[in-house]
């Protein structure tokens, strides 16, 4: 019998484990894979991560990111770089491994190769059932096993219909070849509906990917991705023989998504805590895990359930941000050509957006600012769209 069991040890689970173990709680982390393991991801972490205390990731940062070279359907390239970092590029296998090791050093027990299949709430504890018949008992349970979570689908309504879908490829390149690309990202709008394509340069390889809303991209994303690989100027002439990975992005879609049930809660991707505009999820997984840890500690100390402080955190901190990012996604992905024209003409728009990514400006404030710019401009199509949208949402 443990105080807490955590399922899944990505950024959310490993952070939760660390937060509890470092305060002396008896916590076990169950992970399906063995570390270090691959995770399909761009590995670009916003500088918001600097606000997470106790992290020492300097040795894991491949390169700070100062901005991006944008393109529209692999043409009309515009480089918009800032004087200070917006994000850090990391290799996810090493980054996630570091988080798990940190949790172990803090005293957490970790069981790898253990797939969690279900939970059953009993009178004063939770039984966690794993593949092969193994089970664990704990006072509380945290579901942090990501987009493929079986428990979140059954108990927290993780909903594949609301996912983004993606393809990625890791292309090895000469280290000197990537040197001139480091510090920059490449982001392409317009090729894929409700999404974008990217190239995130690392030392010795390029993380390349494309993601979009599953309802609008299903059946065509693979072809769009191949077109992007063939046509983008940063990839021209490179042999593209690496494996293509497909994975899901459980983007935010509603405040009503249940994240708490009896003695269990969900966090990170398993709770749909991914930014619906650009798909940022690593920081949100870690920040939500910290909030979840605080709520679990309150529950242990008071022997109560409900996790009120966690629900308040989501309601007051993350959901307002995600709602604004969803509105921004609606604006940009419905009219990518017009959005791109705005960015080309006024790079200041992206400089301000970098401050949203850094956590210095709230997304709602940015969205209102962009809307106020749009309505002052004679771009009639987008203006009509906005008026229509405002009428419909009241």
User: Interface residues with ligand FAD (CB under 6 A)?
Assistant: 7-13, 30-33, 39-45, 115-116, 144-150, 166, 168, 209, 211, 247, 249, 268-269, 274, 279-283, 285
- Residue 220 vs 368, nearer CB to ligand FAD: 220
Helices and strands (H and E) in the chain: how many: 13, 18
Would you tell me how many other CB atoms lie within 10 Å of the CB of residue 283? Answer: 22
In the complex, the smallest distance separating the C-beta of residue 239 from ligand FAD, rounded to whole angstroms, is: 22
Least distance to ligand FAD, CB of residue 392, Å? 30
Judge whether 305 and 263 are in contact, CB under 8 Å.
Answer: yes
Please answer whether residues 144 and 7 qualify as being in contact, where contact means their C-beta atoms are separated by less than 8 angstroms: yes
Q: Which of 92, 263 has the CB closer to ligand FAD?
A: 92
Give the pairing type, strands 44-46 and 184-189: unpaired
Tokens of 209: 């990917």
Least distance between ligand FAD and beta carbon 78 (Å): 21
In the 8-state DSSP scheme, what is residue 62? S
Phi and psi of 207, rounded to 5°?
A: -90, 115
β pairing state of 184-189 and 116-122: unpaired
Query: What is the closest distance, in whole angstroms, from the C-beta atom of residue 394 to ligand FAD in the complex?
Result: 31
Nearer to ligand FAD, 221 or 382 (CB): 221
Least spacing, CB of residue 376 vs ligand FAD, in Å: 33
Structure tokens at 175: 């280290």
Q: Which residues pair with 150 in a beta bridge?
A: none
Smallest distance, Å, CB 110 to ligand FAD? Answer: 11
> Contact at 8 Å (CB) between 334 and 385?
yes
Shortest gap between Cβ of 227 and ligand FAD (angstroms)? 18
Q: Which residues pair with 265 in a beta bridge?
A: 142, 260
Q: Which is nearer to ligand FAD, 102 or 335 (CB)?
A: 102
Phi, psi of 142 (to 5 degrees): -115, 125
Q: Which is nearer to ligand FAD, 41 or 171 (CB)?
A: 41
| Pair 305, 265: CB distance under 8 Å | no
Residue 36: asked if its preceding bond is cis (omega within 30°), the reply is yes
Question: Nearest 10 degrees: CA dihedral of 118, 312, 43, 228?
Answer: 90
DSSP run (H or E) holding 44: strand 44-46
Instruction: Map residue 240 onto helix, strand or coil.
Output: coil
Tokens coding 116: 């969690």
Min dist. Cβ of residue 379 to ligand FAD (A): 30
Strand, helix or coil for residue 20:
helix
Q: Identify whether the C-beta of residue 209 lies closer than 8 Å to the C-beta of residue 245.
A: no
* Spatial separation of the C-alpha atoms in residues 394 and 392, rounded to whole Å: 6
Q: Select 116 or 374, whichever has its Cβ closest to ligand FAD.
A: 116
The Cα–Cα gap between 364 and 360 comes to 12
Task: Give the residue nearest to ligand FAD (CB).
Answer: 281
CB of 148 to ligand FAD, least distance (A): 5
Nearer to ligand FAD, 80 or 292 (CB): 292
| Cβ proximity to ligand FAD, 7 vs 69, nearer residue | 7
Which backbone phi and psi does 268 adopt, to 5 degrees? 65, -145
Cβ distance to ligand FAD smaller for residue 71 or 267: 267
CB of 246 to ligand FAD, least distance (A): 9
Q: In the complex with ligand FAD, which residue's Cβ is closer, 171 or 249?
A: 249
């Amino acid at each position: 019998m443990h105080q807490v069991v955590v399922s899944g040890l990505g950024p959310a689970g490993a952070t939760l484990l660390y937060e509890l173990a470092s305060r002396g709680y008896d916590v076990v982390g169950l992970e399906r894979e063995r570390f270090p393991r691959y995770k399909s991801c761009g590995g670009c972490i916003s500088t918001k991560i600097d606000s997470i205390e106790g992290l020492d990731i300097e040795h894991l940062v491949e390169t700070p990111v100062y901005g991006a070279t944008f393109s529209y359907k692999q043409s009309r390239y515009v480089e918009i770089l800032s004087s200070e970092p917006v994000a850090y590029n990391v290799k996810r296998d090493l980054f996630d491994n570091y988080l798990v090791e940190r949790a172990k050093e803090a005293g957490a027990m970790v069981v790898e190769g253990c797939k969690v299949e279900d939970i059953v709430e009993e009178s004063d504890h939770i039984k966690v059932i794993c593949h092969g018949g193994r089970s664990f008992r704990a006072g509380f349970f945290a579901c942090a096993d990501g987009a493929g979570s079986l428990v979140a689908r059954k108990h927290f309504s993780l909903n594949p219909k609301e996912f983004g879908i993606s393809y990625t490829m890791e292309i090895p390149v000469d280290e000197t070849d990537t040197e001139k690309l480091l510090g920059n990202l490449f982001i392409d709008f317009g090729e894929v509906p409700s999404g974008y394509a990217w190239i995130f340069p690392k030392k010795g390889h390029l993380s390349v990917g494309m993601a979009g809303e599953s309802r609008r991209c299903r059946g065509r994303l693979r072809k769009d991705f191949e077109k992007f690989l063939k046509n983008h100027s940063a990839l021209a002439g490179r042999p593209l023989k690496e494996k293509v990975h497909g994975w899901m992005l459980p983007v935010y879609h509603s405040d009503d998504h249940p994240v708490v049930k009896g003695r269990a809660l969900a966090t990170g991707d398993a709770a749909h805590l991914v930014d619906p505009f650009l798909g940022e999820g690593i920081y949100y997984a870690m920040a939500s895990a910290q909030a979840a840890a605080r709520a679990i500690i309150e529950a242990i100390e008071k022997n109560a359930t409900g996790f009120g402080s966690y629900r308040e955190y989501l309601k007051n901190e993350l959901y307002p941000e995600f709602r604004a990012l969803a509105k921004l996604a609606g604006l940009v992905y419905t009219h990518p050509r017009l959005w791109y024209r705005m960015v080309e003409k006024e790079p200041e728009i992206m400089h301000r957006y970098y401050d949203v990514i850094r956590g210095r400006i709230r997304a709602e404030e940015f969205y209102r600012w962009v809307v106020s710019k749009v309505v002052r401009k004679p771009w009639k199509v987008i203006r009509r769209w906005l008026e229509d949208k405002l009428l419909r949402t009241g």
